[in-house]
Copies of this chain bind each other. A is one copy, B any other.
Amino acid sequence: MGKSRQAVARRHHAQVTISDVAVLAGFSPMTVSRVINSESNVRDSTRAVVNGAIRKLGYSPNRAARSLASASQMQVCLLYANPSSTYLSATLLGALEQARENDTQLVVAECDGEADAERTIKDQLKGGISGFLLVPPLADSHDLLNLLKERDVPTVTMGPQLVGERISSVIIDDRSAARTMTEYLIGLGHRRIGFITGNPKYLVSKVRKSGYRDALEAAGIKWRPELVATGRFSYRSGLDAADRLLTLPEIPTAIFASNDEMAAATISVAHRHQIDVPGELTVTGFDDTLLATTVWPEITTIRQPISDMSHAAIDLLTRSIRASRAGGATECEHLTLDYSLIERESSAPPARRVPRDRIT
């Protein structure tokens, strides 16, 4: 009697399965599976019938079963260091969506500086992570990228890398974007255009500055070192930089800050100096973070499609993991997405009269 009478229904919630669909459609589960995965070798008429059945039953595939059967279980880790939340949340949203689409588990880890990043990476690798997505400023760290490259871990970065790093990335053309913004200011009639750089430690700062200089040069405007103030991407550093520019004997009619935080800081300094924005001073930023629409006047800025970028990055990453599992050589791919200039209230043509000296 050891036999058994175990026809226990273990189904808890009578989920619609592929077999239910198969029965209704009059085909085998296998064929249904093929339709779901849109494989090619299925007759069109069959496909139609199966799709009909799927719709009728409201079937949706069970992810767990799918990844178990296809051994495609994948975990990727999104690594970030500076929780500039605006950037982060946009990144997360995009990444989450794509991860879901690709049946990939997304693990988010924060680390605190490069040394910590190294440890975090090692830990995560032990934990079964098979790929990394690095968001700025981690993408800038040569050592980190090297570590990952040495271990041959599929990795994608968001943001520019030094030339020669052989790691996939998703970026916008920061140089061209900065150039576009500067050209826009020139187009408005500005000639005395101040620039606030980002943290010189980061590559992206240099790239954006080159864009600014490119545009000036192309327009035949001589660039003046005194119009370039060094910032560090933070609001605080923006205050200092803006103060330097706005206490020049002859103040600029426009200031282009390398990110929105510093642009917001610039507006604040201008107001303290009783300088109207945009009436007397145009201020523009970069990134289109939340801050750009929080402050008043809202900031004209360059929009990075952050969500789309992380979307693309996760897709790139999962594809490259699959490729590396299949034994292929790890190709490195660079995706450049489009930016756009968002015109808001902080920019206007320069005041008609000769730029006045600052009132003291």
Contacts and interface: CB of A to CB of B under 8 A. Distances in A.
B67 A261 contact: no
A280 to B, nearest CB: 14
A71 B12 contact: yes
A325 B11 CA distance: 12
B235 A296 contact: yes
A10 interface: yes
Given A108-B97, A290-B84, A294-B261, A325 B12 contact: yes
B71 A13 contact: yes
A68 B15 CA distance: 12
Interface residues of A, number: 52
Contacts of A236: 296
Identical chains in the assembly: 2
Contacts of A13: 71, 325
A13 B70 CA distance: 12
Interface string A107-147: 11000000000000000001110000000000000000000
A291 interface: yes
Contacts of A108: 93, 96-97
A233 B238 CA distance: 25
Interface string A2-23: 0000000011110000000000
A332 to B, nearest CB: 22
A154 to B, nearest CB: 14
Nearest to A293: B235
Nearest to A11: B71
A296 B261 CA distance: 11
A64 interface: yes
Given A106-B96, A268-B271, A296-B235, A62 B73 contact: yes
A92 interface: yes
A83 interface: yes
A73 B68 contact: no
A100 B92 contact: no
B84 A235 contact: no
A323 interface: no
A347 B127 CA distance: 45
A224 interface: no
A64 to B, nearest CB: 4
18 contacts: A10-B71, A11-B71, A13-B71, A62-B73, A63-B64, A63-B73, A64-B65, A64-B68, A85-B90, A85-B289, A86-B86, A86-B89, A92-B93, A97-B108, A100-B105, A235-B294, A235-B296, A261-B294
